C-alpha cells in the first residue's frame, strides 16, 4: 500500500495528518483516543480497530464523497 500525504494541522509536521492510499481510502494520523467514557460509547468495534482524535479544522477543507 502506498500513501500520499494530504494535509496536517500541526506546525511541526507530525500529527494530526491525513493521507490517501493508492486505493482511495483515507488514513488518519492522530493521538489515540484513551478516554474510557468515550470508548464505552463506540459501537460495533471490530478486533484490531483503534480510534484517533483529530481537530475538526483538519477535515473542514475536504469533501470525501465520490
Per-residue model confidence as pLDDT tens digits over 35-66: 999 999 999 999 999 999 988 888 777 676 65
What's the domain range around 9?
3-59
DSSP letter at 11?
A: S
- Please report whether residue 9 resides in a domain: yes
- Please report whether residue 65 resides in a domain: no
Give phi and psi for 10, each to the nearest 5: -95, 135
Domain count across the chain: 1
Residue 38 Cα distances to 33, 56, 65, angstroms? 8, 17, 27
| pLDDT at residue number 20 | 92
pTM above 0.85, yes or no: no
| pLDDT at residue number 66 | 52
CA nearest neighbour of 63 among 5, 3, 8, 6: 6
- Please report whether residue 25 resides in a domain: yes
| pLDDT at residue number 14 | 64
On whether the CB atoms of residues 19 and 64 are closer than 8 A, the answer is no
- Please report whether residue 64 resides in a domain: no
- Please report whether residue 66 resides in a domain: no
- How confident is the prediction for the chain on average, in pLDDT? 87
- Please report whether residue 18 resides in a domain: yes
C-alpha cell at 33: 483516543
Amino acid at each position: 500500500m502506498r500513501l500520499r500525504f494530504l494535509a496536517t494541522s500541526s506546525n511541526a509536521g507530525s500529527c494530526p495528518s491525513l493521507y490517501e492510499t493508492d486505493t482511495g481510502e483515507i488514513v488518519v494520523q492522530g493521538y489515540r483516543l484513551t478516554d474510557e467514557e468515550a470508548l464505552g460509547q463506540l459501537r460495533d468495534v471490530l478486533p484490531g480497530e483503534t480510534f484517533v482524535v483529530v481537530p475538526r479544522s483538519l477535515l473542514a477543507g475536504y469533501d470525501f464523497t465520490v
